[in-house]
């Protein structure tokens, strides 16, 4: 039986250390960890919980090894925080699920990712990186613009104030982002069209689209963005609908090109938004997407096209094992959430 080590950052642990709800937003709930563990076991794997990077480092130094590590660690410090566990596993020559350390750094820095995307000829909104409030005066983008932290996820640093109409408001919001998150602000030309997320599986030539999901905003939602409030309260204020129209076809093509251009593997999401002409544009990629069956976009869209949580985790594992030349268990369960 294949033994899978499971690395993760448990949200409750960081809340107990004094982290705020927003600071700990990217970390996983105990419920998510339990669901993923159950899915791995249902697919025939033996799961050994490890925990965060400090627990992993101690285990590796002590000589512990696994056939493969299922890594959901977001990390705590630095723009390269999602790369820390992959880099450690690479140093100890332990196979792991999801993208390598270099790809994790590239995709966490949203501006670097957009440079690669733009060089590949893939549409993405014009942007600028503002390291200080004074940089606002040199901004050469047409308003309205959208401002967010350079390297955060789960809507952190995004609110109803992120859609900005003039430089005075932009100075205030960028100042708040830089001060609170200790990182530059990414400012983009605002795209007024449909809000899309594309689920991905595989890597390189085997990469494929699971489905294209459109996010609709219900009463009570902050308008115009996947903000922290909207993400945290998605069951109440957002509606997710799998679409199959011409825009979905264009979004799937752009997402697939983006996934391959950035070198992502196994599974994740590409987030897009349509411009005023209805053309989907790349916003960012999540190479290690949330995996709660009913609260995270990737499992939600998979379920809407008939792939339950157990099957989704099984597909991700199969992709990782194939990359390393390892064989999956013979019997894969289709029973699950």
From first CA to last CA, the distance across the chain in angstroms is: 23
Topology of the domain comprising 195-324 = D-amino Acid Aminotransferase; Chain A, domain 1 (3.30.470)
Q: Please give the sequence-ordered ranges of beta strands (E in DSSP) within 166-259, or none if there are none.
A: 185-189, 195-201, 208-217, 238-242
* Tokens (6 digits) for 288: 């290690």
Q: How many Å apart are CA 263 and CA 258, to the nearest integer?
A: 9
Per-residue confidence in pLDDT tens, the chain, 337 aa: 899 999 999 999 999 999 998 888 889 999 999 999 999 999 999 999 999 999 999 999 999 999 999 999 999 988 999 999 999 999 999 999 999 999 999 999 999 999 999 999 999 999 999 999 999 999 999 999 999 999 998 788 898 899 999 999 999 999 999 999 999 999 999 999 999 999 999 999 999 999 999 999 998 988 777 788 988 888 899 999 999 999 999 999 999 999 999 999 999 999 999 999 999 999 999 999 999 999 999 999 999 999 999 999 999 999 999 999 998 887 554 555 6
Backbone angles phi, psi at 177, to 5 degrees: -65, -50
The CATH number given to 3-105 is: 3.40.50.20
**Contact by Cβ (8 Å): 148, 162:** yes
Q: What is this structure's pTM?
A: 0.92
Q: Which fold has domain 126-189?
A: Dna Ligase; domain 1 (3.30.1490)
DSSP symbols for 42-101: HTT-EEEEEESHHHHHHHHHTT---SEEEE----SSSTTGGGHHHHHHHHTT--BSS--H
Sequence ranges of the domains in the chain:
3-105, 126-189, 195-324
């Amino acid at each position: 039986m294949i033994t899978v080590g499971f690395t993760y950052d448990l949200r409750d642990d960081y809340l107990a250390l004094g982290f705020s709800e927003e600071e700990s937003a990217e970390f996983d709930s105990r419920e998510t960890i339990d669901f993923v563990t159950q899915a791995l076991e249902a697919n025939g794997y033996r799961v050994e919980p490890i925990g965060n990077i400090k627990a992993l480092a101690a285990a590796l130094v002590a000589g512990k090894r696994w056939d493969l590590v299922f890594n959901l660690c977001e990390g705590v410090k630095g723009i390269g925080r999602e790369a820390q566990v992959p880099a450690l596993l690479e140093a100890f020559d332990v196979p792991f699920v999801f993208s390598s350390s270099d790809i994790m750094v590239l995709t966490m820095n949203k501006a670097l990712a957009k440079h690669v995307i733009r060089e590949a000829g893939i549409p993405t909104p014009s942007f600028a990186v503002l390291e200080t409030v004074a940089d606002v005066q040199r901004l050469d983008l047409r308003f309205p613009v959208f401002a967010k932290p350079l390297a955060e996820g789960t809507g952190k640093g995004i609110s109803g104030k992120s859609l900005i109409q003039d430089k005075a408001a932009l100075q205030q919001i960028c100042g708040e982002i830089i001060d609170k998150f200790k990182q530059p602000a990414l400012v983009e030309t605002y795209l007024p069209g449909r809000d899309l997320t594309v689920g991905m599986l595989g890597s390189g030539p085997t990469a494929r689209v699971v489905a294209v999901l459109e996010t609709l905003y219900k009463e009570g939602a902050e308008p115009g963005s996947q903000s922290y409030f909207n993400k945290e309260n998605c069951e109440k204020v957002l509606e997710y609908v799998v679409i199959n129209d011409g825009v979905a076809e264009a979004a799937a093509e752009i997402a697939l090109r983006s996934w391959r251009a950035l070198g992502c593997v196994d599974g994740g999401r590409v987030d897009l938004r349509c411009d005023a002409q209805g053309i989907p544009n790349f916003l960012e990629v999540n190479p290690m997407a949330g995996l709660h069956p009913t609260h995270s976009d990737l499992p939600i869209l998979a379920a809407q096209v008939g792939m339950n949580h157990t099957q989704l985790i099984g597909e991700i594992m199969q992709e990782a094992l194939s990359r390393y030349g390892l064989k999956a268990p013979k019997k894969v369960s289709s029973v699950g959430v």
